[in-house]
Structure 1
Amino acid sequence: MRDRLNLSLPVEMIARINDLADLKRLTRSAIVEAAVDSFLSPDHADMQEAALTRRLDRLSRQVARLERDQRITAETVALFVRFWLTITPPLPADDQSVAQAKGRERFEGFVETLGRRVQKGRSFLDEIPEDRTPS
């Protein structure tokens, strides 16, 4: 539906509208409608600001997720080290070479398992629900 609007414009502007309408082979109403539509639409700076705001919001969420993951990783390592130091008895000198060989074997198994998980895109942090994170 269209409605009529009468307006007064300076003679020079009407001449420019007439020239543009002739050049583009459009009606004067189409030229004025496009100009008013452009005026009423958000300008380029507003659109850029909105895009920048969305990008900053996304980056803020990503940084928050990284901080969460870092806290979980640090806590996991700290708990493991505390547990390991608590339960590991000192070894006699005679048994240390055997224990070191077994430790190397276990570490290689750990690295292999870690490599497979990373290759498949699986992460220990993904197994922790969002609502269970430390604050």
Structure 2
Amino acid sequence: MAKPRVNIRISTKLYAQLCEAADKPGVTKTAIVEDALRAWFDPEARSVLEERLLVRMDAYDQRQADMERDLAFTYETLAHYVYYWLTRSEPIPEGERDIAHALGRKRFEYFLGQVALKLGSDQRSPAEHQYAESLEVVEQP
């Protein structure tokens, strides 16, 4: 039984790609189009691709959840530190406040400079190394 003939219109770019692929020995335009249509209509082929995509999305969701958890721990740690520091520090006498504020500003600027240096360099803290290693384990196929 002869195969039905189908006339379709495709973009010039797709047609050029089809012709280029069909120039290889043993490959025909018909075979390429049939394979493409078979893949389009075959739910098995689509489910394999979807499954691979879902695995990657699940890994992404897990990494996102880990980052959110780590960030929550960081916020909580900082909150406890600030609370502890504020409850243990004595109030500054009225006459020394201007000097303390100036010193605090100077120390804060130094702190920001150190943070900028750290973020601008390739040096990592132990926690950053551990996090990077956990990402490498998840991303391996």
Shorter-normalised TM range = 0.5 to 0.7
2:61 maps to 60
Q: CA deviation at 1:65?
A: 1.8
89-98 vs 113-122, which deviates more?
113-122
1:118 maps to 119
What is the aligned-residue RMSD (CA, Å)? 3.4
Q: CA deviation at 1:94?
A: 0.6
Q: Deviations for 1:54-103, whole angstroms, at most 9, x for unmatched residues?
A: 22122112212211221221122112211211221111111000000010
Q: Deviations for 1:32-59, whole angstroms, at most 9, x for unmatched residues?
A: xxx8xx89x9843123212221221221
Query: For residues 62 and 115 of structure 1, what CA distance do their matches in structure 2 show?
Result: 26
In the superposition, relative to structure 1, how do residues 62 and 128 fare at CA in structure 2: closer, same or farther (>3 Å)? closer
Query: For residues 69 and 105 of structure 1, what CA distance do their matches in structure 2 show?
Result: 30
- Asked if residue 90 in structure 1 is aligned to residue 91 in structure 2, the reply is yes
Mark the structure with the bigger radius of gyration: 1
TM-score, normalised relative to structure 2: 0.56
Query: For residues 115 and 43 of structure 2, what CA distance do their matches in structure 1 show?
Result: 50
Percent of matched pairs sharing the same residue? 30
Letter in 1 for 2:105: R
In the superposition, relative to structure 1, how do residues 99 and 45 fare at CA in structure 2: closer, same or farther (>3 Å)? same
Report the number of matched residues.
100
- Asked if residue 71 in structure 1 is aligned to residue 62 in structure 2, the reply is no
In the superposition, relative to structure 1, how do residues 118 and 100 fare at CA in structure 2: closer, same or farther (>3 Å)? same
Letter in 2 for 1:55: R
For residue 90 of structure 1, give the secondary structure of its aligned residue in structure 2: coil
1:45 maps to 46
TM-score, normalised relative to structure 1: 0.58
Structure 2 residues without counterparts, runs of 5 or longer: 4-24, 132-141
Structure 1 residues without counterparts, runs of 5 or longer: 1-11, 17-23, 130-135
Q: CA deviation at 1:124?
A: 7.2
